[in-house]
């Protein structure tokens, strides 16, 4: 029997949302300041409106304080799901008024794409966009990748942090408290931010010959999009704009850092370091990167798309890394990517679908789940081959020796299947509109796995239903379904419960 | 107080060392993958 | 006795161009020639067709001028509608930008009008050079290796003023939010 949510449940959810919107309002002051410094008064006004809406919603939520602020599991999941719907909606206000979008849905699409660190874009005339707006696009990646909720956890005390943390699809509780874990995640991000921006900025100035201000502008934007494996770029030709192997190399290092789990970062910073290459997740991702790279490069070579060793190495390697880390930077135009058929297509799509490490900024099924599924399948096969009554106990190493329980294996397989279903849903909608199978699958996997590589399907003229479908895929894929189902269940109980 | 400051300083310097190690590892992973990609590319071009 | 075929001047006036065209066709050279402007979209869709050929593209220079240490300068040339019909000027939305990277000797790049960006239309130019598709000397990059550059129109600054209605709405909401916060704080202090 479904129990209808009561007024107190709405107060609890509203109060938590109020805190989160207040944090987002504060973060939104950054592009506002940028607009002031650049005297960009048109974007300035729209940032002011956005901050006003977040601040108002924040105060509205905080006004009705619940008797008990503690979030239980269902409250936490609903808060997470709603945050990831409302923040892109309000966050699209500057885009709506910029003139660079075909309508509110296009603007909300890019905001959702930014926050979910996907990187698919419907923006028009990006090359003439105001720098403060471009900064906001990339800052959305940073907020989404680091987790707005993580930020709220750092700043606000109060119960329910754990459910919010897990609701944002994070599995590692690295430190004893969720708050200290959240602080550590932000520390790692900020240290990488300083180092990454300096390195990219210096390369852009010294090697690419940009002037200093522009060099660091590009460095900052590419860092946000690379470390948070988002994929937006400040210019329309993505990473291909820079025409530089050194810049691509530095960007790849940042993408790898972003696709590493924060648990791995913790092990590097504070030990034990032996877990680095012993972890199932690390071994799995190295194997899948190698495998998809092999597939892709054989495919490109056989098709004669690249006929030189430097060309095949550089372009094949970068695209696979961009796909597997879930970043979505492209060094080739989408029209060219669309011609990568056969094994190259398979390599890139599989890389996108598998994704990065769990508890990182990357999307996809995630390396740990893939590893658990493989171990489970191997164990079940052994069980079949052994005499009846034999017991196969499976263990794995992930920051310590652990037992692969049937529940854990089932959970991994369920989420993997849900991702596959999500990919097929998006592909089905595209097929219904007459797109070819290859491009339908490619774009759908890119949206659902929060990657952002495109073969040209995603464009302003795309049918409305496809835009909405990809937005749902980006939302559900980023949150790994649980929070989404919790929200749907909450709404259903409210409507049909007793 | 001193022992707390000392512990904090030790943790920060440990973190700094860890951060440097992290960067070295990240660069090392990419270099390793680039080398592997070069080998694969050479074999593929030779075969095709 | 053999009879030699003797052709009059008139015949050669017709034959010579025909032979030239025939040689051209038989050489396998694509139809693009140095004087013909090729749309950038053609290069993006089928770049291989123009590989190694001297072509001309026309459009706006955008982004950055990257003067490198090897004697070359890099930038991007867009031939979409935004160069002539800027969004800020009320120009129509025409989808994403359509552009390619171009490389030219530093000397050609010096003295160019400021590159296009926010509130700035970059110079409209005609760039002639060899189209390099998946250049093995540059790790598989595709770009136009420019040897001649002509400025058709210099760039111009654009204006984009603030939207006062949006500004007013935002200010009002902030004021209301502040008032709500203040009231809540006062109630908490009183309680």
Which DSSP string do the residues of A112-141 spell out, in sequence order?
HHHHTT------S-GGG--HHHHHHHHHHH
The predicted structure's pLDDT at residue C41: 95
Q: Which of B21, B34, B44 is the closest to A268 by Cβ?
A: B21
pLDDT in tens, C75-108: 999 999 998 888 988 899 999 999 999 999 999 9
Identify the band that residue C156 occupies on the pLDDT scale cut at 50, 70 and 90: very high
Q: Of A402, A385, A447, whose CA–CA distance to A117 is shortest?
A: A447
| Interface pTM, i.e. ipTM | 0.90
The predicted structure's pLDDT at residue A285: 94
- Longest Cα–Cα distance of chain A, Å, equals 77
Q: Does the pLDDT of residue C72 top 90, yes or no?
A: yes
pLDDT in tens, A75-93: 888 998 999 999 999 999 9
pLDDT in tens, A210-251: 999 999 999 999 999 999 999 999 999 999 999 999 999 999
To 10 degrees, the CA torsion angle through A224, C115, C97, A206?
-40
Interface of A with B in 181-210 (CB under 8 A): 187, 191, 195
To the nearest whole Å, the CA of B35 is away from the closest chain A CA by 9
Residues paired with C61 in a beta bridge: C77
The predicted structure's pLDDT at residue A4: 84
The predicted structure's pLDDT at residue C31: 46
Report the C-alpha gap between A166 and A77 in whole angstroms: 8
Q: What are phi and psi of C99, to 5 degrees?
A: -150, 165
> Is there a contact between A55 and C173 if contact means CB atoms under 8 Å apart?
yes
Identify the band that residue A64 occupies on the pLDDT scale cut at 50, 70 and 90: confident
Higher pLDDT, A215 or A173: A215
> Is there a contact between C177 and A305 if contact means CB atoms under 8 Å apart?
no
The predicted structure's pLDDT at residue C121: 95
CB C92 within 8 A of CB C86: no
> Is there a contact between A301 and B34 if contact means CB atoms under 8 Å apart?
no
The predicted structure's pLDDT at residue A346: 96
Residues paired with C59 in a beta bridge: C125
Residues paired with C135 in a beta bridge: C141
Report the C-alpha gap between A229 and A207 in whole angstroms: 24
pLDDT in tens, C143-152: 999 999 999 9
Identify the band that residue C3 occupies on the pLDDT scale cut at 50, 70 and 90: very low
CB A126 within 8 A of CB A17: no
The predicted structure's pLDDT at residue C175: 97
Peptide bond into A272 cis (omega under 30): yes
> Is there a contact between A297 and B15 if contact means CB atoms under 8 Å apart?
no
Report the C-alpha gap between C56 and C37 in whole angstroms: 5
Report the C-alpha gap between C172 and A150 in whole angstroms: 30
The predicted structure's pLDDT at residue C4: 46
Q: Does the pLDDT of residue A170 top 70, yes or no?
A: no
Q: Does the pLDDT of residue C2 top 50, yes or no?
A: no
**Percentage, residues of chain A above pLDDT 70:** 93
Q: Region A100-119: what's the mean pLDDT?
A: 97
pTM of the entire predicted model: 0.91
With an 8 Å Cβ cutoff, the interface of chain B facing chain A consists of: 14-15, 18-19, 21-23, 25-27, 29-30, 33-34, 36-38, 40-42, 44-45, 47-48
Which two three-digit tokens encode residue A421? 């279903």
Count of other CB atoms within 10 angstroms of residue A388:
5
Which sign does the torsion angle of CA A210, A211, A216, A218 carry?
negative
The predicted structure's pLDDT at residue A121: 97
Q: Of A291, A355, A339, A356, whose CA–CA distance to A436 is shortest?
A: A339
Q: Does the pLDDT of residue C24 top 60, yes or no?
A: no
Higher pLDDT, A404 or A56: A56
CB A23 within 8 A of CB A83: no
Q: Does the pLDDT of residue C127 top 90, yes or no?
A: yes
- CA geometry: angle A185, A186, A189, nearest 5 deg: 90
Concatenated DSSP letters of A2-60: PPPP-HHHHHHHHHHHHHHHHHHHHHTHHHHHHHHHTT-HHHHHHHHHHHHHHHHHHHH
Residue A58 with chain C: CB contacts under 8 Å: 177
A277 touches chain B (CB under 8 A): no
Identify the band that residue C1 occupies on the pLDDT scale cut at 50, 70 and 90: very low
Count of other CB atoms within 10 angstroms of residue A150:
26
The predicted structure's pLDDT at residue C16: 62
Neighbours, chain C (3 or more CB pairs < 8 A): A
Listed in sequence order, the residues at least 6 apart from C93 whose beta carbon sits closer than 8 Å to its beta carbon are A99, A100, A101, A102, A124, A125, A460, C87
């Amino acid at each position: 029997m479904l129990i209808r949510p009561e007024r107190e449940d709405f107060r609890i959810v509203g109060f938590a949302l109020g805190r989160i919107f207040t944090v987002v309002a504060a973060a939104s002051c950054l592009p506002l300041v940028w607009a002031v410094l650049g005297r960009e008064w048109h974007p300035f006004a729209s940032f002011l409106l956005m901050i006003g809406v977040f601040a108002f919603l924040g105060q509205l939520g905080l006004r009705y304080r619940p008797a008990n602020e503690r979030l239980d599991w269902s409250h936490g999941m609903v808060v997470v799901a709603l945050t990831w719907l409302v923040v892109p909606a309000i966050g699209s206000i500057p885009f709506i008024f910029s003139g660079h979008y075909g309508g509110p849905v296009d603007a909300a699409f890019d905001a959702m794409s930014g926050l979910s660190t996907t990187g698919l874009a419907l923006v028009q005339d990006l090359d003439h966009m105001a720098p403060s707006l471009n900064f906001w696009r990339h800052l959305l990646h940073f907020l989404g990748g680091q987790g707005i909720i993580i930020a709220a956890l750092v700043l606000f005390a109060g119960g329910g942090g754990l459910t919010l943390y897990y609701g944002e699809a994070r599995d590692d509780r690295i430190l004893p408290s969720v708050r200290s874990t959240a602080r550590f995640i932000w520390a790692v991000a900020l240290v990488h931010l300083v180092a990454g921006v300096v390195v990219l900025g210096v390369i852009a100035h010294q090697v690419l010959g940009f002037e200093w201000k522009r060099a660091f502008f590009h460095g900052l934007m590419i860092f946000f999009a690379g470390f948070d494996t988002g994929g937006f770029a400040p210019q329309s030709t993505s990473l291909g704009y820079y025409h530089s192997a050194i810049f691509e190399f530095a960007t790849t290092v940042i993408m790898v850092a972003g696709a590493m789990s924060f648990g791995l970062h913790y092990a590097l910073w504070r030990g034990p370091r032996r877990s680095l290459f012993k972890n199932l997740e690390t071994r799995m991702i190295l194997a899948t990167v190698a495998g998809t790279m092999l597939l892709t490069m054989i495919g490109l070579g056989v098709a004669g798309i690249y006929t030189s060793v430097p060309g095949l190495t550089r372009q094949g390697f970068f695209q696979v890394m961009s796909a597997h880390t879930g970043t979505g930077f492209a060094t080739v135009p989408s029209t060219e990517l669309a011609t990568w058929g056969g094994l190259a297509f398979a390599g890139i799509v599989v890389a996108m679908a598998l994704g990065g490490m769990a508890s990182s900024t990357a999307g996809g099924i995630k390396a740990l789940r893939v590893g658990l599924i493989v171990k489970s399948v191997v164990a079940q096969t052994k069980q079949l081959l052994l005499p009846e009554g034999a017991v196969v106990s499976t263990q794995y190493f992930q920051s310590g020796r652990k037992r692969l329980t049937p529940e854990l294996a089932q959970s991994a397989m369920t989420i993997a299947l849900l991702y596959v279903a999500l990919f097929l849903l998006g592909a089905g909608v595209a097929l219904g509109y007459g797109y070819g199978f290859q491009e339908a699958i490619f774009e759908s996997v890119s949206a659902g796995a929060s990657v952002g590589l495109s073969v040209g399907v995603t464009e302003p003229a795309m049918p409305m239903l496809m835009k909405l479908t990809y937005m749902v895929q980006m939302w559900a894929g980023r949150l790994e379904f649980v929070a989404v189902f919790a929200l749907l269940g909450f709404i259903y109980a409210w409507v049909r419960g007793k | 107080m001193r022992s707390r400051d000392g512990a904090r300083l030790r943790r920060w310097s440990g973190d700094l060392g860890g951060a440097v190690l992290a960067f070295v590892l990240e660069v090392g992973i990419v270099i390793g993958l680039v080398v592997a990609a070069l080998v694969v590319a050479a074999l593929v071009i030779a075969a095709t | 006795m053999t009879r030699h075929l003797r052709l009059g001047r008139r015949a050669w006036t017709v034959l010579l161009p025909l032979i030239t065209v025939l040689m051209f066709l038989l050489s396998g050279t694509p139809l693009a020639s140095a004087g013909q402007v090729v749309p950038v979209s053609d290069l993006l869709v089928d770049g291989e067709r123009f590989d190694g050929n001297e072509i001309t593209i026309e459009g706006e220079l955008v982004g950055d001028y990257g003067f490198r240490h090897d004697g070359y300068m890099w930038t991007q040339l867009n031939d979409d509608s935004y160069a002539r019909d800027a969004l800020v000027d009320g120009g129509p939305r025409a989808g994403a930008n359509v552009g390619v990277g171009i490389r030219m000797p530093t000397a050609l790049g010096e003295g160019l009008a400021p590159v296009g960006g926010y509130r700035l239309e970059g110079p409209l130019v005609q760039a002639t050079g060899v189209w390099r598709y998946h250049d093995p000397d540059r790790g598989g990059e595709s770009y136009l290796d420019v040897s001649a550059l002509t400025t058709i129109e210099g760039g111009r600054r654009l204006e984009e003023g603030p939207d006062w209605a949006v500004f007013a709405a935002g200010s009002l909401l902030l004021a209301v939010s502040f008032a709500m916060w203040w009231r809540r704080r006062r109630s908490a202090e009183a309680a």
